[in-house]
Amino acid sequence: MSAENGKNGTPDTLPGPRPEPLRFYGTTWVHHDSGYTARRAGLAVGSLVLAAAACFVLRVAYQGLQIADIGSFVTLLMIVMFAVCSALAFRHTWSGFTTRPDPDRQASLRGLLAIGFVGSLLAYFLRTFTEAPGEKLHRAEYEKAREEYERRTTRRTGNPSKKRRRK
């Protein structure tokens, strides 16, 4: 059932496959309309602010460890853990914008991604300079689906039984 736009009963959307909505963007990434640019700018600033706030929280945690005087080894271990987890989260998030992540691997990395959330926020921030994060992947999938739909629904003209045979 399709929605009608009130003009002679014509549908609002094209028949066939629908674009998959992106988080925070919906389907505005298809035609870059409805405040797409403002959303990209706002989300870039928002992810950078969140990353800075997260670094501040980590700094407070680090100062808490210094006050507790638990030793340099544990302090160093915490710093290395957050740095490595952030780097791995950055790489995983960045690659997730161009390829579909494996759901099993995604589930197994959930804890690591939670610890390295700063890396994920920075990847999101950097990606918004070129596109909506994941737009390239979704656009390729959507255009492929549209092509296949067009190929399936294109009809031949004429009666194929009256076609002349070549000798």
Q: How far apart are CA 91 and CA 105, in angstroms?
A: 14
Within 8 A by CB and 6+ apart from 152, the residues are none
**Residue percentage of the chain with pLDDT more than 90:** 51
Instruction: Give per-residue pLDDT as tens, 6-63.
Output: 455 445 567 888 999 988 888 888 888 888 999 999 999 999 999 999 999 999 999 9
- Number of Cβ atoms within 10 Å of the Cβ of 144: 11
pTM of the shown model: 0.78
Q: Say whether pLDDT at 157 is over 70.
A: no
C-alpha to C-alpha distances, 65 to 79, 102, 118, 120, nearest whole angstrom: 11, 36, 20, 25
Report the chain's mean pLDDT, rounded to a whole number. 86
Distances from the Cα of 58 to the Cαs of 39, 70, 79, 161, in angstroms?
Answer: 28, 17, 9, 75
Phi, psi of 26, deg, nearest 5? 65, -130
Confidence of residue 156 (pLDDT cuts 50, 70, 90): low
Separation of alpha carbons 47 and 90, rounded Å:
13
- Looking at the predicted structure, is the pLDDT value of residue 137 above 80? yes
pLDDT level of residue 119 (50, 70, 90 thresholds) = very high
C-alpha 158/C-alpha 167 separation (Å) is 21
Rounded to whole angstroms, the Cα distance separating 46 from 64 reads 27
